[in-house]
Amino acid sequence: MPGATVHDAVTVAAISFVNGVYWHIQPHQHVSAAFWFTGTFLVAGYACAGDLDIKSREYRAWGPLRVIWWPYRVLVPHRSWISHGMVTGGLIRTAYLACAITAIVVVAVWGVDLLGQHFGPAAITAGLWRHAVTAIYNHTASALAAFTGFIAAGALHSVTDLLGSAVKPRARTQSRRRSAQ
């Protein structure tokens, strides 16, 4: 299995190719959508791909906020279909991140509410979700591009792991044969 340096190099090397493919297959060629795709591909490739289930460079990249990934790291087996599924891994991480952000907002609003500023955590959270859904609806091409970039980065991570796992045993076998001769 490739290390973090290899995954980072593959992410950077693949961005031009993957972005070109995305530009040609997207239904409406919006420049802003291409920027969203590229941005989320890079962010997901460096901080949200398949290795958040272990103490990895991706996990440490979150700094103090990595605490939000602790339950994911504890509950998700490494290299399972949950973390390394071509599409399911990215879908699950997206849903997990949305839930974690929602929980942070609820706790923050609840904390402010306890300090005497009565906002109503449920109303604030519902309002934020309503604004998020409206923004996604009004900017569907960009939202779809961002989501696709996130999923594509996770899929690239999984493909890199699969290829790395296939190459390593073969390389070890060949080196053993050479040493035996």
Q: How do the domains of the chain map onto residue ranges? A: 4-180
Higher pLDDT among residues 174 and 57, named by residue: 57
Is residue 179 very low, low, confident or very high in pLDDT (cuts 50, 70, 90)?
Answer: low
At 7-20, the pLDDT tens digits run 778 888 888 888 88
Percentage of the chain modeled with pLDDT above 70: 89
Higher pLDDT among residues 169 and 52, named by residue: 52
At 67-89, the pLDDT tens digits run 999 999 889 888 888 888 888 88
Packing angle of the helix pair 88-114, 121-138 (nearest 10 deg): 140
Residue-level pLDDT at 27: 66
Residue-level pLDDT at 175: 57
Pairs from 57-65 (Cβ < 8 Å, separation ≥ 24):
57/4, 57/8, 58/4
